[in-house]
Amino acid sequence: MTTESNPSFTPLAEIGEFKLIDYISQKFHQRNASSLKLIGDDSAQLYYGNNHSLVSTDMFVHGVHFDLDYFPLQHLGFKTVVASISDILAMNGRPRQIFISLALSNHFSVEMLDLYYEGVLAACEEYNLDLAGGDLTTINRGMIINVTAIGEADKEKVVYRNGAQPNDLVCVSGDLGAAYLGLQLLEREKKVYLANPSIQPELKEENQYLYQRFLRPDGRDDVIKFLADNHIVPTAMMDISDGLSSDIMHITSQSKAGVRIYEDKLPIHPATVDVAEEFGMNPTTCALNGGEDYELLFTISPAHYEAITKNKDISVIGHITAQTGKNELVTKGENVFEMVAQGWQSYGSNPQ
């Protein structure tokens, strides 16, 4: 959609950068005491006292990370925030502020940008975040989004990727593979539409869960709260953005350990199984390699097994071994295979 095709849209150039910043900032209000100064000056001012500050940044490029042919701008705003704060959660932290920088072509209008920030605002409200600043600039084509997330964590409870120990339990929140299948469904409908624009997309009701998992994922702050409430500090943790197989290997390589994952323990939603079979795919392969689940993958001491099983949305899927670099999958038939990292790579082949 362009400003030329719909004259009721307001071109960004009509407002200008500074008025546009004021327009955006009016929708957001301070939620955290650590936000001393937000949008409107040369920099934000934050204060965390004795806690550790955590900072993470993510870039999203149109045509690489998202496709506006089927990605509603409200969902895109929400998802880009969730993807960024997920990195803070993955270090056992609490996200507090976000900074969003956008590069937009002249095809965008104020109304389209408004839709994007509706999603950002919804994420700020749901996860108690402050929009603390950012930047706006122009680009010849498309849209580039950069989100920086800032958070805090107790000094003694920051969790890294390199702390997994032999016999630690491997845990994952939620279910895996649904986001990848949601993407496959949307890509299929896009191909049908491009081949015959008179055919309307067929977005089946029974697949809504898969669309939601891809377009509007959840940030697992509830898992961080559960861990704190039950006095569990993981030995290692990260979020699943590139796929379970790739991400567990980040943990084992940095922890100088190995892992055994059990296929029958992988949490896979029934809708994921159904659509995987429809595409002629193995649901396990989708769960291992799909990516963009934004679930939390973490290791804990076996002493916490009873406590972790209180949460029905957390699955124990394997254990850490002392065999450095030996990452194994035990199938339902009890065959053992070496796992291969086949998840998302920014400069390489990818499952999608």
User: Across the 352 residues of the chain, what is the mean pLDDT of every consecutive 10-residue run?
Assistant: 59 76 81 79 70 91 92 97 97 96 93 96 97 93 96 92 97 98 94 79 85 97 98 97 94 96 98 96 95 96 97 98 95 93 51 39
Output the pTM of the full model: 0.87
Between CA 106 and CA 314 the distance in angstroms is 45
Q: Which residue, chain included where needed, has tokens 């957390």?
A: 314
Between CA 24 and CA 121 the distance in angstroms is 10
Predicted local distance difference test score (pLDDT) of residue 17 = 66
- Nearest C-alpha neighbor of 345 from the set 297, 291, 304, 300: 291
**Residue 294 tokens, joined:** 């934004």
Q: Which residue, chain included where needed, has tokens 């100064």?
A: 37
Give the residues across from 61 on adjacent strands.
144
Please list, in sequence order, all residues whose beta carbon lies within 8 angstroms of the beta carbon of residue 51, skipping any fewer than 6 positions away: 152, 153, 154, 155
Strand order in the sheet with 143-153: 52-61, 143-153, 94-104, 130-138
**Residue 225 tokens, joined:** 């709260």
Predicted local distance difference test score (pLDDT) of residue 43 = 58
Antiparallel, parallel or unpaired: β 45-46 and 94-104:
unpaired
**Residue 38 tokens, joined:** 């937000």
3-state secondary structure of 23: helix
Between CA 295 and CA 32 the distance in angstroms is 25
3-state secondary structure of 272: helix
Between CA 146 and CA 84 the distance in angstroms is 9
Angle between helices 221-229 and 73-89 (to 10 degrees): 30
Predicted local distance difference test score (pLDDT) of residue 10 = 85
**Rounded-to-10 torsion of CA 308, 219, 65, 279:** 50
Predicted local distance difference test score (pLDDT) of residue 42 = 56
Helix (H) or strand (E) holding 212: helix 208-215
Tell me phi and psi for residue 157, to 5 degrees. -120, 10
Domains of the chain, earliest start first: 12-157 (3.30.1330.10), 169-338 (3.90.650.10)
Which 8-state DSSP code applies to residue 168? P
Q: Which residue, chain included where needed, has tokens 């290997």?
A: 249
